[in-house]
Amino acid sequence: MSIRNIAIIAHVDHGKTTLVDELLKQSGSFRENQRVAERMMDSNELEKERGITILAKATSVEWKGTRINIVDTPGHADFGGEVERILSMVDGAIVLVDAAEGPMPQTKFVVGKALKVGLRPIVAINKIDRPDARHEEVINEVFDLFAALDATDEQLDFPILYGSGRNGWMNVAPEGPQDQGLAPLLDLVLDHVPEPSVGEGPFRMIGTILEANPFLGRIITGRIHSGSIKPNQAVKVLGQDGKVLESGRISKILAFRGIERQPIEEAHAGDIVAIAGLSKGTVADTFCDPAINEPLKAQPIDPPTVTMSFLVNDSPLAGTEGDKVTSRVIRDRLFKEAEGNVALKIEESSEKDSFYVSGRGELQLAVLIETMRREGFELAVSRPRVVMHKDENGQLLEPIEEVVIDVDEEHSGVVVQKMSERKAEMAELRPSGGNRVRLVFFAPTRGLIGYQSELLTDTRGTAIMNRLFHDYQPYKGEIGGRVNGVLLSNDAGESVAYAMFNLEDRGPMIIDAGEKVYAGMIIGIHTRDNDLEVNVLKGKKLTNMRASGKDEAVKLTPPIRMTLDRALSWIQDDELVEVTPKSIRLRKMYLDPNERKRFEKSRTAGAA
C-alpha cells in the first residue's frame, strides 16, 4: 500500500483538530453506530479544558488504496518545539487559515519552518461560512506571507481549497458544491504530496514523540527512514553525537489505524510507527540496526526564552494537601518531562531544593505546573523571567516578540499607550473589518509578562493578542512593574469574615472567609504601593450587652479569583505562587518580616 505523510498546521483556534475529526469520520474510520467524542485528537485533560492542542499526535486514514498518515500539531508558539520535530516526519502540509482572521503569527512561525525543510503546502481556507469571511484578501495575505518567508517558485504555486471543517466539506470554489464532503481535500493530498523519500540500507528511524505507557513502558513515535523492522529485532540507540546510548530488542510495533494504535508484524521505510521495548532512547535520538554507526540529523530547536524557579514548598501548610513534596520526586518528574519535551531545559540550582525550568513561554510552563499539581505534587514557583544573552562585544541582548493585537477601534488608543510603556515599537496599524483594527508591535518579552489580563480589562474583553518570538535585540532599559502593594497576613489560622469586612477599605481580597492562612501569605491587593501586614483572624468581641439593633450578617465583596496563569503573571520577584492539588496561594519568598526587611535592604543596596 502506498503512503502519504502530512501535517496539519495553523494558528490556534483555526480548526485543525475539528478538521481531523471530519477526515476520520468521512474516510470510514468509525462504525456507523460508534459514539465519537468531539475533538478526539485532544485526548489530554488540559487540552479539553483549555480548548487547545498541546501535544502533537498522529492518526491515519485510508483513501483510494493509499494510507494517509496525518499529524495534528499545536497552534500555540509556546508548544513550537512539538511542531519543529514533527515536520521532519512528513512530506507535505495542509496550511489551514481562518477565512476572516487570515494568517496569524503562529501560522507564520510554523509555515516558515515547513518551507525551510522543503515541504510543498496545500492552503485550505477554513470557516468560509463565517459572516465576516474575506477569502480573497486572505489568499493575497497568504501569498505575501509565503513570499516574505522566501518560498521557492514551486512552493508559491500552491493549490487552494475553500470550505468548513465543522460542516465537513472542502472544494476548489468558495460556494461549493458541498455534497462531496472532504473528498476533494483527500484527492488533492494524493496528487500533490509526494510519496515518502526512502533512504538506502538497514533500519533507521529518528524519535520525534515520546510517551510512557503503563504496560509497554517507553513508546517512541517516528518515521522509518530506511529498511524495515519486526518485533523482537535487535536495535541500538545513537545520540546526536554518535555515542551508543543503549542496545536492546523491539517488543512491539504499533501502527496508527484511525484513532486506534494496532500492533503489526512488520513496518517499512516511509511509514510512521511507534516502537516499544527500549528504556533510554528519547526524542532526537536515532534508533537503528546494530550495523549503523552514523546518527540521522535532527531538526534544530529554537532556544527557550522564559525561565522560572521551581522550589520545594516550605510554607507552614506544606504537605497537607499533596503527597509528592520532596526535592527528589520533583527533580525526577522535571527531568522526565524534559526527556520528551525538547523545548524545555532543566537546571539544578546550587541550593539543591530548587530548579531552573526554561521554556518557550508562560503558557508552556503553566501547563507543566498544572499537570504536576493534578498528579499530586506540591511546589512553589517564582515569577517568570526572560532568558538574556550576551553578544561577542559583551552587550546584553533580550528576546523580542512580534505581538499582533486585534481590537475594537475605540480601544486602540489605550492599547498603544500601554504597549509603549512596555517599550514596544509599533510596526503596523491597519483596519481588519467590522470597526476593528490590527496592531502589530515588536515588544520585549519581559514587558509582556502579565499584560494579557490587563489588556482584557482595558478593552472590555474584546481584544485578541497573539505573540511570536522574533529575535534577540539589545536590552531596552527598565520597564515599570506592578503599581499596587499587597496585604499580608501577620499570623497563622483561619480567616474571619468580620476581620475581612473591616479590611475592605484597604483593598480587594484574593481569599475567602474560612480559608487557612499563615504569616507572610498574600491575602489581598493593597490600594497603595506599599505592602501592609494585617490581621485577618480577629473576631468580633462578645459582650453580655444587648445591641440596640439586630446584628446584620457580614456581607463580603466577592474576592478576586487568582488562577494559576494570572497568579504567575501578577506576582513580583520577591513573591512566590504555592501550588498544591487543592489550592493556589500567593506568598512572600521570605515569610518572616525581619528576613523580608533584610532582603529588601540588600536589594536596594545592590541597586544603588
525 marked as binding residue: no
State residue 547's pLDDT score: 58
State residue 301's pLDDT score: 67
Fold of 389-474: Alpha-Beta Plaits (3.30.70)
CATH of 204-288, one of 3.60.15.10, 3.30.210.10, 2.40.30.10, 3.90.550.10: 2.40.30.10
201 marked as binding residue: no
> Rounded to 10 degrees, what is the CA torsion of 85, 70, 9, 139?
140
Residue type, 61: V
State residue 81's pLDDT score: 57
State residue 236's pLDDT score: 92
Q: Which one, of 442, 435, 437, lies nearest residue 414 by Cα?
A: 437
Q: Which residues contact 99 (CB under 8 A, 6 or more apart)?
A: 125, 126, 127, 128, 130, 133, 134, 135, 138, 162
13 marked as binding residue: yes
Contact assessment for residue 171 and residue 180, using Cβ atoms and an 8 Å cutoff = yes
Any idea which architecture 483-561 has in CATH?
Beta Barrel (2.40)
Contact assessment for residue 149 and residue 159, using Cβ atoms and an 8 Å cutoff = no
What pTM was computed for the model?
0.75
Q: Sketch the domain layout of the chain as residue ranges.
A: 2-192, 204-288, 311-387+566-608, 389-474, 483-561
3-state SS, residue 205:
strand
3-state SS, residue 222:
strand
389-474 and 311-387+566-608 share a CATH fold: yes
Residue ranges in the chain whose pLDDT is less than 70: 12-14, 27-57, 74-84, 105-106, 259, 300-302, 340, 433, 543-553, 606-608
15 marked as binding residue: yes
Cα 77 from chain centroid (whole Å)? 7
How does 282-302 read in b/e, with b if 16+ C-beta sit within 10 Å? bbbbbbbbeebeebbebbeee
CATH of 311-387+566-608, one of 3.30.70.870, 3.30.70.260, 3.30.200.20, 1.10.3720.10: 3.30.70.870
Q: Which one, of 341, 339, 332, 343, lies nearest residue 310 by Cα?
A: 332
Cα 391 from chain centroid (whole Å)? 29
18 marked as binding residue: yes
Instruction: Reply yes or no on domain 2-192 having CATH 3.30.530.20.
Output: no
Q: Which one, of 537, 540, 410, lies nearest residue 463 by Cα?
A: 410
Q: How far apart are CA 398 and CA 442, in angstroms?
A: 12
State residue 38's pLDDT score: 41
Contact assessment for residue 281 and residue 207, using Cβ atoms and an 8 Å cutoff = yes
16 marked as binding residue: yes
150 marked as binding residue: no
Q: How far apart are CA 112 and CA 489, in angstroms?
A: 51
522 marked as binding residue: no
527 marked as binding residue: no
